[in-house]
Amino acid sequence: MQINASQLLQEPIGATRECEVNEAADIISDGKKYAVQGKCHLLRTQRSILVKCALSTEVELTCNRCLVQFRHPLKINFEEEYLPTVDVMSGAPLPMPEEASSFTIDEHHIIDLSEAIRQYSVMAVPMKALCDKDCAGLCPKCGQNLNQGKCDCPAQEVDPRWSELTKLL
Ligand SMILES: [Zn+2]
Ligand SMILES: [Zn+2]
């Protein structure tokens, strides 16, 4: 996920580059590597390089209801500004950006997209992952995956506070 920007940094404002991304990386910190693919557009601006990426991958998630692992497509789209830390011509260090959260281009003029890809991937993962919006979940009694068929447990137990009432009905 690294792009050498030394050439682009020496070009006039408005110069652009297109890059292809095709790399496997641990993007959601689950210890697994997922193939990330897509395109990035780089634009030389007055003070930085503006990077716009449209990437996609498929991650493995665990369903919140039935605990089954399933593949979930992920779109990773972002636009971030990368600020140089050294002057590309002289090699002299540049003042650090005021915004602490800014992404930077290292002293070898390398733009490392890994951190941005990681941050945007984590944001793109649904908070409550479901294998299917109609996932039936697990039986609370026997743990059977109800997507694979009904279990033999008696149908939903009635709250004892209502039992007297049901007798009347
Ligand atoms: Zn499920
Ligand atoms: Zn059951």
Three-class SS state of 149: coil
pLDDT for 125: 95
pLDDT tens-place string over residues 41-59: 999 999 999 999 999 999 9
CB neighbours of residue 81 within 10 Å: 16
Q: How far is the CA of 131 from the centre of ligand 1 (A)?
A: 4
pTM: 0.82
Written as six digits, the tokens of 11 are: 């070009």
Written as six digits, the tokens of 75 are: 């779109």
Beta strands in 1-95 (DSSP E): 2-4, 16-25, 34-44, 49-62, 69-84
Average pLDDT (108-124) is: 95
Please tell me what DSSP assigns to residue 104.
E
pLDDT for 167: 64
Q: How far is the CA of 24 from the centre of ligand 2 (A)?
A: 40
Q: How far apart are CA 37 and CA 22, in angstroms?
A: 4
Average pLDDT (90-104) is: 83
Q: How far is the CA of 138 from the centre of ligand 2 (A)?
A: 8
More confident position, 165 or 10: 10
pLDDT for 96: 78
